Amino acid sequence: MSNIQNDLLPHCLKQFHDTVPKEIMIETLTYLPLSQKGTVLRISKSIHSHLTETPRYFQSVFVSYCCNISVPRSTIDSYLKSIETMSTTDAHQYLTLNLQEMVAHQKKLRQEEEMLKRSQGLLMKRMAEREKKIREQKEQQPCVRQLYCKRIYEREMTMP
């Protein structure tokens, strides 16, 4: 049981950088935690050839990536059910295609999040500028009042 669980951990992503197109691997690496990126890049090719020949490999990579990006378990199960009758090549292509879609979705989510952060930053900047203007106006108001009072006082003093 512990071997099965170990196969499904996110670290098994390191096994897939020689079997999927390089563009997908590069995009996938951008979503990995920094601590795992080095491991992915250092894995030996002989381990790849052994691991990537088994259908279990495809499933473990797919499940680990899905878990890493919080795909619902029911969705993962339906994907795995659909590859049960496929050949290894077809299963690989199917899972690679699904991974591409997931990576594209994650990329879109990241872009939306960055845009939201930028717009929030601009909003905060505008609010800070507005508060600064209001503060400056409040600080100037007593001076204007004092000047006005001083002029009235001077007029009264100069009037006979």
Kindly list the domain boundaries of the chain, sorted by start residue: 2-114
Give the pLDDT band of residue 42 (cuts 50, 70, 90).
low
User: What pTM does this model have?
Assistant: 0.45
Q: Which amino acid does the sequence have at 62?
A: F
State pLDDT tens for residues 103-135: 888 889 889 999 999 999 999 999 999 999 888
Q: In the chain, what percentage of residues exceed pLDDT 70?
A: 59
**Per-residue pLDDT averaged across 41-70, rounded?**
62
Higher pLDDT, residue 80 or 42:
80
Give the pLDDT band of residue 69 (cuts 50, 70, 90).
confident
Q: What is the pLDDT of residue 123?
A: 92
Rounded to the nearest integer, the mean pLDDT of the chain is: 71
Task: Please say if the pLDDT value at position 61 is more than 60.
Answer: yes
Rounded Cα gap, residues 155 and 159, in angstroms: 6
Q: What is the pLDDT of residue 86?
A: 79
